[in-house]
C-alpha cells in the first residue's frame, strides 16, 4: 500500500535481482549463495511508508513495529546464530512468525 515505494518496483525487484545474482563474493569468500540462504523479505499487509496516513485510513498497518522486530531478529541471528524466520506476508494485525501461514509474498497487499 506504499505510494512512495511501490512493492513490485521496490523490494520485490531488489529481491529478484539479489536472488538472480551469482557473481559476487563477500569478504569471507562465501559469495551470493550464502547471502541468498540468509535473505528474508517480510511484507506488511496494509503497510505504508507514511504511517501518519493511518490517522486518515485506519485500515493501514504501522510498519515500524515490524521493522524493529525484523532488526531484533537480525541482531539475534548475527550475535547468537539464531535462525531467521522465513520470508513471509505479515497479515494485517499479525506479526513475524517462525512458521508463517503465508510464506513468501502477500497475495494481496491490502485487505479491508
Q: List, for residues 64-99, the tens digit of each pLDDT value.
A: 999 999 999 999 999 999 999 999 999 999 999 999
Residue 38: pLDDT band (50, 70, 90) is confident
Query: Is residue 35 predicted with pLDDT exceeding 80?
Result: no
- Residues 91/44, Cβ–Cβ less than 8 Å: no
The b/e string for 31-40 (b: 16+ C-beta within 10 A; e otherwise) is ebeeeeeeee
Whole-number pLDDT of residue 25: 52
Q: What is the mean pLDDT of the chain?
A: 84
Amino acid at each position: 500500500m506504499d505510494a512512495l515505494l511501490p512493492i513490485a518496483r521496490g523490494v520485490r525487484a531488489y529481491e529478484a535481482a539479489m536472488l538472480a545474482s551469482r557473481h559476487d563474493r563477500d569478504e569471507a569468500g562465501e559469495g551470493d549463495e550464502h547471502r541468498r540462504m540468509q535473505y528474508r523479505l517480510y511484507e506488511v499487509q496494509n503497510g505504508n511508508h507514511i504511517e501518519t496516513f493511518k490517522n486518515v485510513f485506519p485500515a493501514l498497518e504501522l510498519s515500524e513495529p515490524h521493522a524493529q522486530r525484523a532488526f531484533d531478529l537480525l541482531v539475534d541471528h548475527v550475535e547468537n546464530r539464531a535462525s531467521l524466520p522465513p520470508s513471509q506476508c505479515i497479515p494485517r494485525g499479525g506479526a513475524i512468525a517462525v512458521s508463517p501461514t503465508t510464506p513468501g509474498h502477500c497475495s494481496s497487499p491490502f485487505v479491508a
